[in-house]
């Protein structure tokens, strides 16, 4: 069994370039979201929809966020914190759709164990008609090092989406999101193609191009506090003092840990 989890499927707003979308989501929106209290972890996955493996419909999601919580009550910060209203407003700057699925711990199952930071990952988005457990088992049997299945059927994202698309409940047709980690990209591609073929084209797949941990172990990471460009500048200057907890607390207060 997993932890209480929130899955966000994000579509880039028309007129916003992919580069601007990625930078803004990570360094502006993500840094804001990392200040929401209660997150145990918050990881951004900047993704590319795979349109060449037989899927009949591929939703144009280019951002997939995974947030975990140590306990169900910790999710209250996502709903009631002072940051939340600003997050809602900010979504309209870069997202066409922002679908959040709030899942209980028993809605997530994880098989395998691996150093996920060292592996490539892909996401599969399934309609409700498909058996997510069967798809997840197939990926494990095909050689995935680790597979996380998030059952979306009990979650309704319509209460969060505040962008310019009225879903009308259509988003509830998504039945599951599966993330899988692989050491061999060719093996991953073949397994995803087989999964799509077995679903008669109903599964859509996404490749993770970049992964950014914004919150870990209940605290914002350096990227979550300062954004990637600042972190790169700190690294380039070999400014080790800028990583010290005392410095971060002086700038950001006790929230920095």
Span 241-257, pLDDT tens digits? 999 989 988 988 887 76
What is the pTM for the complete model shown? Answer: 0.93
Residues 46 and 212: beta-carbon distance below 8 Å: yes
Which band of pLDDT confidence, cut at 50, 70 and 90, is reported for residue 231? very high
Q: Which of 51, 64, 66 is nearest to 196 (CA)?
A: 51
Q: How many other C-beta atoms can be found within 10 angstroms of the C-beta atom of residue 157?
A: 22
For the domain 5-256, what is the CATH code? Answer: 3.30.70.100
DSSP string, 54-97: --S----EEEEEEEE-SSGGGGHHHHHSTTHHHHHHHHHHHEEE
Residues 134-159 have pLDDT tens digits of 999 999 999 999 999 999 988 877 66
Q: Please state the rounded mean pLDDT for residues 64-71.
A: 95
What local confidence, expressed as pLDDT, does residue 171 receive?
46
What local confidence, expressed as pLDDT, does residue 160 receive?
64
Q: Are strands 120-127 and 204-216 parallel, antiparallel or unpaired?
A: antiparallel
Asked if pLDDT for residue 26 goes beyond 90, the answer is yes
Q: How far apart are CA 185 and CA 36, in angstroms?
A: 35
């Amino acid at each position: 069994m997993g932890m209480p989890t929130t899955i966000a499927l994000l579509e880039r707003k028309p007129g916003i370039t992919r580069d601007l979308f990625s930078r803004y989501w990570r360094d502006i929106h993500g840094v804001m979201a990392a200040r929401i209290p209660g997150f145990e972890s918050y990881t951004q996955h900047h993704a590319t929809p795979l349109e060449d493996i037989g899927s009949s419909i591929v939703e144009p999601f280019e951002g997939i966020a995974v947030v975990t919580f140590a306990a169900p009550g910790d999710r209250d910060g996502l709903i009631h914190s002072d940051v939340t209203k600003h997050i809602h407003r900010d979504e309209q700057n870069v997202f066409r759709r922002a679908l959040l699925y709030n899942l209980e711990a028993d809605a997530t199952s994880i098989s395998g164990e691996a150093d996920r930071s060292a592996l490539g990952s892909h996401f599969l988005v399934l309609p409700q008609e498909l058996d997510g457990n069967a798809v997840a088992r197939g990926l494990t049997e095909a050689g995935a090092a680790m597979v996380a299945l998030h059952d979306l059927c009990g979650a309704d994202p319509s209460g969060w989406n505040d962008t310019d698309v009225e879903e009308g409940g259509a988003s509830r047709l998504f039945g599951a999101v599966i993330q899988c980690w692989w050491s061999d990209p060719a093996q991953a591609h073949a397994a995803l193609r087989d999964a799509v073929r077995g679903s008669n084209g109903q599964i859509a797949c996404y490749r993770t191009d970049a992964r950014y941990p914004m919150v870990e172990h209940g605290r914002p990471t350096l990227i979550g506090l300062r954004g990637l460009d600042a972190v790169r500048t700190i690294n380039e200057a070999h400014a080790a003092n800028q990583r010290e907890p005392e410095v971060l607390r002086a700038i950001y207060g006790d929230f920095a840990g």
